[in-house]
Amino acid sequence: MLFGLFTFDWTILIVIPGLIISLWAQFKVQSTYKKYSTFYTKKRMTGADAARRILDSEGLYHIKVEHIRGNLTDHYDPRADVIRLSDSVYASTSAAALGVAAHEAGHALQHAKGYVPMKIRSAVIPMTRFGSMLSIPLFFIGLLMASEYLMLFGILLYSAVAFFQLVTLPVEFNASRRALAILRSSSMLDNEELGAARKVLTAAALTYVAALLTSLLTLLRLLVLANNRRR
């Protein structure tokens, strides 16, 4: 019995590639942002200025742009109609900061225009929060109790997490495309500065790809464990 408790669970190997890629993606976005955070733009427009200009150009005067503490904690909150920009973005005039600020403004434009993937993502957020907290514990409780119902319920809950990561990809990629297009058409950045902003947003996009891969590999591991338990 004791030997059985301490035997190596080979299924952990399934998720290791996703964890490695996630760590690499986090390193990539941090190093890329650090590199271009000192690449200051010629017009000296801040991240807050850029976000405000993009919002106003689309008639979104009601959406506020606020400062929030932290590093790369930037986000758009549709419930409060506010874009929150972090310490390294709000008052910075770097190409990296303008790229991030424009990306968050891109999310505000998505919301205003009823972008369908964003609506889908918003709709599954409650289930995703529930699933991210309970899916894994429920699955392993079911595994220990030999309860197929609990294991299946855990898998279904975690499937919602994987689906959220999947639908997040088009939302994030689209926001970046919108951001770069606006930065180009408005001449806020020149070609060299735009290239720097693009590299930052591309690095950030890798984190979402890594998150999806990790969730899919985790889901695969749960399915393998459930199948092994049935034998």
**Sign of dihedral through CA atoms 58, 60, 64, 69?**
negative
Q: What is the pTM of this model?
A: 0.88
Mean pLDDT of the chain: 92
Residue 58 lies in a domain: no
Structural domain boundaries enclosing 124: 12-40+94-230
104 as an active site residue: the answer is yes
Tokens found for residue 99: 């790229």
Residue 135 lies in a domain: yes
Asked if residue 188 has pLDDT above 50, the reply is yes
Asked if residue 61 has pLDDT above 90, the reply is yes
| Distance from C-alpha of 37 to C-alpha of 31, rounded to nearest angstrom | 10
Residue 2 lies in a domain: no
Residue 79 lies in a domain: no
Confidence of residue 127 (pLDDT cuts 50, 70, 90): confident
β-pairing, 75-77 with 82-85? Answer: antiparallel
Residue 48 lies in a domain: no
Tell me the percentage of the chain whose pLDDT exceeds 70.
96
- The pLDDT, as a whole number, for residue 90 is 97
Tokens found for residue 205: 């996009």
- The pLDDT, as a whole number, for residue 2 is 39
Asked if residue 4 has pLDDT above 50, the reply is no
Catalytic residue among 58, 66, 104, 172: 104
Confidence of residue 7 (pLDDT cuts 50, 70, 90): low
Count of domains observed in the chain: 1
- The mean per-residue pLDDT over the stretch 135-163 comes to 93
- The mean per-residue pLDDT over the stretch 2-12 comes to 61
Confidence of residue 11 (pLDDT cuts 50, 70, 90): confident
Residue 70 lies in a domain: no
Bin 149: left if φ > 0, else alpha if -120 < ψ < 50, else beta: alpha
Residue 59 lies in a domain: no
Tokens found for residue 159: 């499937």
